[in-house]
Amino acid sequence: MDFSTLRNLISRYCAGEENWVDSRTVYIGHKEPPPGAEAYIPQRFPDNRIVSSKYTFWNFIPKNLFEQFRRIANFYFLIIFLVQLIIDTPTSPITSGLPLFFVITVTAIKQGYEDWLRHKADNAINQCPVHVIQHGNVVRKQSRKLRVGDIVRVKEDESFPCDLILLSTSRDDGTCFVTTASLDGESSHKTYYAVQDTKAFNTEEAIDTIHATIECEQPQPDLYKFVGRINIYLARDEPVARPLGSENLLLRGATLKNTEYIYAVAIYTGMETKMALNYQSKSQKRSAVEKSMNSYLIVYLCILIGKALINTILKYVWQADPNRDEPWYNERTESERQRHILIRAFTDFLAFMVLFNYIIPVSMYVTVEMQKFLGSYFITWDDDMFDEELDTGALVNTSDLNEELGQVEYVFTDKTGTLTENNMEFIECCVDGHVYVPHAICNGQVMAAAAGIDMIDSSPGAESREHEELFFRAVCLCHTVQVKEEETVDGIKRGIHQGKATSFYISSSPDEVALVEGMKRLGFTYLRLKDSHMEILNREDEIERFELLEVLNFDSVRRRMSVIVRSNTGEYYLFCKGADSAIFPRIVSGKVDEVRARVEHNAVEGLRTLCVAYKKLSHIEYEEVCHLLSSAKLALQDRDKKLSEAYDTIERDFILLGATAVEDRLQDKAADTIESLHKAGMKVWVLTGDKMETAAATCYASKLFRRSTQILELTTKRTEEQSLHDVLHDLSRTVLRQHGSMIRDTFSGLSNEFQDYGLIIDGATLSAVLKPAPEGGGGASGGNYKEIFLEICRNCSAVLCCRMAPLQKAQIVKLIKASKEHPITLAVGDGANDVSMILEAHVGIGIMGKEGRQAARNSDYAIPKFKHLKKMLLVHGHYYYIRIAELVQYFFYKNVCFIFPQFLYQFFCGFSQQPLYDTAYLTLYNISFTSLPILLYSLIEQHINMDILKKDPSLYRDIAKNSLLRWPIFIYWTFLGVFDAVVFFFGAFFLFDNTTFTSNGQLMTTNTQMMFGNWTFGTLVFTVLVFTVTLKLALDTHYWTWINHFVIWGSLLFYVIFSLLWGGIIWPFLNYQRMYYVFMQMLSSGPAWLSIILLIMVSLLPDVVKKVLCRALWPTTTERIQTKRACLTAEQSTIFMLSQTSSSISF
């Protein structure tokens, strides 16, 4: 026996069958199959407990600590703290231990609180009651105790406790209606079907007699895919096998509607339900700022190691002279002298590392976390981004990417429901070249004065009347629309017309509702689906009944749907509707040219078009179709592929009937938003599944393309005429002709001297472009077209990708992300088909639209309408980036100012690792004295008024490409910190060394010499340091409020009061009182005051001079506007003063 067989047996015995097979067997009601039927293999499945929490009571501390210490900064400070504990270091372990403890504790409390909320929510779900059928009786139990195989009863308006297969319902036809709003946000009622052989078992006693097993696939997260079959054991006969698909599967979290009750069997429970598999954590996205922070941290770590190394070497060089071995008061013991020099050197190196470790700002990470968390509330509180129609505002699902909103270079947007309203209005239909235009019909609501039919063109002759009516019947029958008679559904009044309740249509697709409503106005009314019969009311007010035999559901690959019906006369019809590209190749007869011309005309007008076709089936052909479909549906392996092949075989040889056109209006201010994004330097790409002409018309309407834009086509139509290689090279030559090989900058399309290019590409051509080069294929002929394609795209101001599958949308985003510039991408969409694109982009934004909330749930940010994207990026994104860039640079700057004097001090104390500052100052510098001003700055700073940011999108360019965190600016801040540190140290040193520094200018005595020792010197340096870095931030602040004044001046006052208390009281818990009276003694000296003021001014001077010169000689757009505003403000105040003066004179 080989090891793999043994491993399989162990796995099967210990872990259950489901861990090593592709399918699972579920025994309904836990009943064994009859003898001789099949082997009974009981399988172990998880219970129905939902766990969304990360921690338990027992593992919280170790697991949370492990996660926190995976951060390089936290781990580094832990090592420093341990070194301070182990060896004799110059500073107390408290100096690094306390800040680290503070950081770890704050983060742990935040994460613990969030997890407690998750536990609370889990318990509420796990303990809710469910009703289970046992031995013919209804038993109530907690949801968490539900097991796979239990038969569950669910009543109207109750949610399904786990994933269930529908067995029977209170309706005779075995259907039930469900809303999946909590899963994908779609509030429309979807129809689900019970298994035909079990739908009659609709009482507790009857359902308990069912003897059946279900074979189905193992759990997987796709909400819309399910493959299985049910084997029903009848008396002594072979089991009856029936296919199970997604139309039989009721998902956990969905809600039962307009159905009194249902019976269903549990097949996936707990963490194996599709809902649980879908909402597991998304991959972590990291912003460009965070990457810059980590780079800077590595640089400062190298500086720290360099400092420690230099000091260690110099210490031993200095001590090489026997006379300078050690000061007499710090003489080493014999054991220390005997220790190996390498061990001593390493110990000293660690001691210097500890002394200088404050150059790495541990508190920066906490401040950044707090800034992101608190700052995200400004988006949710923004009234301008609140939509009254939806009664909701913007949502922040992750606060880690706030600053990334200010760095976007590419915007990828969906069309339907994102740029457009997804509010369909039936415009016209064309039958054999004759066009019918009813009055306004919008989303199920009949507009005023919508009586009668307005037709253009001549009415068809009597011989074509039958064809026309067949078209209307086809549109009335080929859909998945439901009819509701009730006046209210879910508390919303619908279908009210002329004061009375009427029926109205609901569907998961707004297009279908618009089409059926359009047919109603043209004389053919769809009434209902009853007992598998579809009823329509014709123009003569006669009810026609068609038996619905098969539905070939719509999918995004086929781009069409079909129904097979049988009329009262026994004729079989296959009606099909779909995109023109999916229908025309399958047509064998009909007035193709006339219909095609009308479809293309409507597409250019921006209307959504569908073609309608049919074919008659004989009874034998219908039997063949049934056999083909049933064999595909019963397959457990590759069912989708087999169904697709079956559909392809069935949907052929159509006769064309006509086409429909519905309008999807552009969203409010969509064009203005796209124009603003263009001006801000962003490239906007529209990725849609629509046909090229319709999408292009929308692009012109939304100002993505201008009338002057030269459109370049990279479509299947063109690649059929030329090879892909030739088309790509032609386009490349076209866009680069004007500029040579120079890539156009982001000002494309805004300057009149450049030709503006727009590219249109379709899904099929994109697949060819992205196809990897074959082995051995060299050069461009090898199929490596990505670079040429990207070169063309870079030189186009806008790109339209049409006929896109959802996965292709994500591939496009990934392609741009991976290009050599590595631009920051943003994807915005409203439907489930946009989720992959949203997850792929650096920043994903979901629109809370009519296609459900799945996009909003999976996004980083959610907004009610596309127009809100403008303020989200141009205002919030701009502010977030400016604030956090200053925060990061300022933190490194103030820590260089803090620790570089300590480095210089070692040259004056024999490299003895003597600290320059007191322990309290070392500990509280980053925690208390300098933390609040920068946190507040990073929350409320507005360097430019938000109205100006909205009016002038070009200001966004000033911060593009992480411009405020580039290496030259980082180096400038670092050198500024070093300069200030040199001024603090040597300024204090020379003033301190001067005899006039003593009290009242008297000559220094022995007593005063002791008083003005190294702690006084260190306190003087530290005082200048705290005041300088705080005033530096005050100089950088443009937006002053009372909070700024309170925090900035309050921080300085706190430092002074703390120093007076710390040095003014003999603290009983301290072993030493080295700071006693030091601060008061220092302040009692007039020259000390003068030196503090002088050193602060000298330190701040270079930065002020640099800013003045840069603003005068090389101002940015932002600085020009700031200067202009300052001049206007000064002018207004002067005019006001003059008017006041003149008014007083007139009296």
97, 405, 411, 702, 981 from 954: Cα distances, Å: 47, 15, 16, 19, 38
CB 522 within 8 Å of CB 452: no
Q: Which residues contact 328 (CB under 8 A, 6 or more apart)?
A: none
Q: Determine whether 5 is exposed, middle or buried from the number of CB atoms within 10 Å of its CB (0-12, 13-18, 19+).
A: exposed
Considering Cα of 890, then 895, then 897, then 898, what sign does the dihedral take?
A: positive
983: left (phi over 0), alpha (psi -120 to 50) or beta: alpha
Q: Which H or E element spans position 802?
A: strand 798-802
Task: Give the amino acid at 210.
Answer: I
Q: Which 3 state secondary structure label does DSSP give 479?
A: coil
DSSP 71: S
Concatenate the DSSP letters of all residues of 736-780 into one string.
HTTTTTPPP-TTTTTSTTS--EEEEEEHHHHHHHHSPPPTT--TG
How many whole angstroms separate alpha carbon 599 and alpha carbon 610? 8
The answer for residues whose C-beta is within 8 angstroms of residue 841's C-beta and 6 or more apart is 412, 813, 817, 825, 826, 827
Give the residue carrying structure tokens 């934004």: 845
DSSP bridge partners of 228: 216, 244
| CA–CA separation, 658 and 590 (whole Å) | 9
Q: Are strands 255-257 and 151-155 parallel, antiparallel or unpaired?
A: unpaired
Output the CA torsion 1025→1028→1030→1036 (10° steps): -150
Is residue 724 within 8 A of residue 769, CB to CB? The reply is yes
Measured CA to CA, the distance from residue 84 to residue 1001 in angstroms comes to: 42
Token pair 């552009």 in the structure block, residue: 666
Which residues have a Cβ under 8 Å from the Cβ of 1057 and sit 6 or more positions away?
Answer: none
What phi and psi values does residue 710 have, to the nearest 5 degrees?
A: -85, 115
Return the number of other C-beta atoms located less than 10 Å from residue 275's C-beta. Answer: 21
Q: Alpha-carbon Rg of the chain, whole angstroms?
A: 37
Residue of 917, 1100, 1084, 1080 whose CA lies nearest to 997: 1084
Q: Which of 1003, 1025, 1020 is nearest to 1091 (CA)?
A: 1020
Amino acid at 795: N
CA 836 – CA 827 distance, rounded (Å): 10
**Per-residue CA distances from 1134 to 587, 863, 1147 (Å):** 79, 43, 20
Q: Which of 414, 756, 860, 1103 is catalytic?
A: 414
1031 CA to centre of own chain: 38
How many residues are there in the chain? 1147
Residues with Cβ within 8 Å of residue 123, at least 6 apart in sequence: none
Residue 400 is among the residues annotated as catalytic for this protein = no
- Strands 710-714 and 683-687, sheet pairing: unpaired
Q: State the Cα torsion 928-929-935-938 to the nearest 10°.
A: -170
At residue 520, the 3 state secondary structure works out as helix
Closest alpha carbon to 714 in 645, 670, 770, 752? 770
Separation of CA 625 from chain center: 44
Q: Are 688 and 603 in contact (CB under 8 A)?
A: no
Question: Between the CA atoms of 610, 613, 619 and 620, what dihedral angle is there, to the nearest 10 degrees?
Answer: -90
Q: Which residues are catalytic?
A: 414
